[in-house]
Amino acid sequence: MRKKQNLIKKIVSGLNERLSRCDLCPRECGVDRIHGERGICSAGNDILIYSNFLHKGEEPVISGSGGSGTIFFSGCPLRCVYCQNYKFSHFPNGEKNTIEDVADKMIRLQTDGAHNINLVTPTHYLPYILKALDNAFDRGLNLPIVYNTSGYEKRDIIELLDGIIDVYLPDMKYIDSDVSKKYSKAEDYFLRCSESLKEMQRQVSRTVMDSDGMMKRGLIVRHLVLPGCADKSVKIINWLSANLTDFKVSLMCQFQPYFTARDYPEINRRVSPEEYDIVVNEMIKLDIDGWAQDYDTDEDLAGIYL
Ligand code: SF4
């Protein structure tokens, strides 16, 4: 892990300085987080973690039999109106952690049998997380690092992670700016996401699996089908097929009108089986490797079949 630690040392102080006029994500709030100001993501100068555990419900190549060592960070720059994690993504709910605490959690997850360290919505805490990784590498952390993100990222930030992140697990939520503006107040979502995904693909150009079928290196793009948006999902699947080279897609149908989605009548329902089938069939038609959630289950498990 010495190579990763050297890369971290090169970038971490610059990232830390950026906290004083925070521009870590496309929101570019410019707030002084070093002195406790909070931006749209709700993060200030402390690390809030909502939960950490061995996650058995991620994609099979991420969860495996032992589980993915998942750390859910509180806060989020994107803040979708339908977020199922709204209790800690829209609100600063969670326990305060020091950098050493975060490193402890990583080491404990490894000791407990995790296949990887799965950083969920990490970007607004990136300088702190990199310091924690450096600390944990010193103490023997040797698992693949998974960057699990909404896809609303700045390309220059993703570029800095070259050689540090092993598996990228981004969403591609929207392709139309009117939809991303309406549900996430992010008119530039597709522009930011598409640029970032291309950079992720450049970094992890080739999927690498271990002998147990776990992903050691690669790119998995998640897409949650929204009610009434199957046509847009088809466009996304086609964009991925045309613009990425070695990737997997994890298609999801678990949308429920959480949080304030009920204020938007057109999405105040589940996706229908017919809508979902349209998108699954497009994946099959384009011969895209990956998984699709089972429509007829109450469990929010990723990567069921395809
Ligand atoms: S990380 Fe948070 S504070 Fe920084 S620019 Fe993004 S939303 Fe604003």
pLDDT 10s digits, 10-46:
999 999 999 999 999 999 999 999 999 999 999 999 9
Nearest to 128 by CA among 2, 10, 13: 13
Identity of the residue numbered 76 = C
Q: Report the alpha-carbon distance of residue 184 to residue 164 in Å, rounded.
A: 29
Q: What is the pLDDT of residue 1?
A: 80
Question: Averaged over 196-214, what is the pLDDT?
Answer: 97
Domain ranges (residues) in the chain: 2-292
Q: What is the pLDDT of residue 300?
A: 59
Question: Quick one: which atom of ligand 1 is closest to the CA of 39?
Answer: 3
Per-residue model confidence as pLDDT tens digits over 228-275: 999 999 999 999 999 999 999 999 999 999 999 999 999 999 999 999
- Is the beta carbon of 28 within 6 A of some atom in ligand 1? yes
Cα torsion through 56, 145, 119, 116, rounded to 10: 20
Confidence grade of residue 107 (pLDDT, cut at 50, 70, 90):
very high
Question: Averaged over 39-60, what is the pLDDT?
Answer: 95
Per-residue model confidence as pLDDT tens digits over 280-303: 999 999 999 999 999 986 665 565
Q: Report the alpha-carbon distance of residue 35 to residue 184 in Å, rounded.
A: 27
Q: What is the pLDDT of residue 46?
A: 92
Question: Averaged over 46-59, what is the pLDDT?
Answer: 95
* Mean residue pLDDT across the chain: 95
Question: Quick one: which atom of ligand 1 is closest to the CA of 38?
Answer: 3
Q: Report the alpha-carbon distance of residue 92 to residue 305 in Å, rounded.
A: 35
* Percent with pLDDT over 90 in the chain: 95
* Percent with pLDDT over 70 in the chain: 97
- Is the beta carbon of 186 within 6 A of some atom in ligand 1? no
Question: Quick one: which atom of ligand 1 is closest to the CA of 42?
Answer: 2
How is domain 2-292 classified at the CATH fold level?
Answer: TIM Barrel (3.20.20)
Distance 77 CA to ligand 1 centre (A): 6
Question: Averaged over 80-89, what is the pLDDT?
Answer: 93
